[in-house]
Amino acid sequence: MTAYAMAEIENTLGSLRRKRGLSAIALAAAVDVSRQTIYAMEAGTYVPNTAVALKLARVLETTVEELFSLAVDAPEPELRREAVTLLPGSAELQAGQAVQLCQVDSRLMASAPSPVPWYFPAADAVVAEQTPGKGKTRVQIVHEEGDFQNRILVAGCDPGISVLSRHVQAAGIELVLAHRNSSQSLALLKEGCVHVAGTHLRDEASGESNLPEIGRMFRKNTVAVVSFAVWEEGILTARGNPKGIRGVEDLARKDVVIVNREKGAGSRALLDSRLKAAGISAKAVRGYDDLAPGHLPAAWRVKSGTADCCLATRAASRVFGLQFIPLISERYDLAIRKSHMELPRIQNLLDILGRAGFRRELEGLGGYDTTVTGQRLL
């Protein structure tokens, strides 16, 4: 993994290659990388590891310092504020909720995107036939072009991964997001079904996030762990907190109905831990067996009024404009097979984690703490 974000690295690779009379194909062959990787390095969307940088310097008869240098630090730009017109008919919004902007004649209009996708999902194929019990499915591909090679399959439950998806798309990489809880995501990684597993499983004995569970599931030195961000989990209630919920103890009240998460979810583990500490039986909590498959689906149940509260992230509360009662701050990490770490598309993803623009958006939309974002933990 590179030590600096791509935005902090400048290079003279393209000009030196042309000066030496080398084609991108010839240089790629000489340093044992693909032609696309050479172009990505020249464009500044990929920073090579030490071994590749040394090979490039040797072939181009120069030094690594002449090829790559740190950009001059620039002050962080102050985020600008604008007066906008909220699209008529929009629900009342509160601080922290997301909007999309569009200039319409002389007015800058703001529209709150729907937290529920009322549109056809993105798809490459439709199921043609399936053999029950065989684990294989035949599909009919709806796009003639595309070999699906420049994609990263990510399993996880953090809505903030969609922000990362938008940023890597600018580098020509697409994230395919599979919604799974933390335990399910790690199991898929262990089975070799995904490139990246997102997880927020807290070890009760040590208080450490993710690393103890990953250590139990995977052989030593087979998985890398990179921090995505620190988020807050807590109790989400309707705006104004009409039931006056203050903590987990109130979930045992007869007038409070919760929506829970499935076994293996970090939020379910947090609820069980807090109920146990408070001496409250799960049977005493109305709605304990009523399950929602994710932070946003659980928050939607509270928004729609079919539940009084749930445990989810502050980011989920912002999406729906709900009240948030913090319980804990914890790290959401990305686990990656070490055999995939040197793939150019994975390197691009890791580099984007360090970009200031990505971090600002993650902080602004979800209230995440990005101080540790991009740090290699394992």
Q: Which residue has the tokens 């929009």?
A: 90
Which structural domain, as residue segments, surrounds residue 49?
A: 6-70
| Residues 65 and 213 grouped into a single domain | no
Total structural domains within the chain: 2
Domain membership of residue 123 (yes or no) is: no
The last residue of a domain, from among 70, 89, 109? 70
| Residues 45 and 162 grouped into a single domain | no
| CA gap 41, 10 in Å, rounded | 10
pLDDT in the model for residue 212: 95
pLDDT (tens, 9 = 90+) of the chain, 378 residues, equals 343 444 467 888 988 888 888 888 889 889 988 887 887 788 777 788 888 899 999 999 999 988 988 766 556 666 778 888 887 777 788 787 878 787 777 878 887 776 666 556 667 777 777 666 666 777 877 766 656 778 889 999 888 899 999 999 888 888 888 889 999 999 999 988 999 999 999 888 888 999 999 999 999 999 999 999 999 999 999 999 999 999 999 999 999 999 999 999 999 999 999 999 999 999 999 999 999 999 999 999 999 999 999 999 999 999 899 999 999 999 999 999 999 999 998 999 999 998 988 999 999 878 899 999 999 999
Neighbours of 258 (CB within 10 A): 21
Is residue 221 a contact partner of residue 378, using CB atoms and an 8 Å limit? no
pLDDT in the model for residue 359: 92
CATH at 38:
1.10.260.40
pLDDT in the model for residue 268: 95
| CA gap 8, 108 in Å, rounded | 33
Angle at 223 between CA 218 and CA 224, to 5 degrees: 145
| Residues 229 and 368 grouped into a single domain | yes
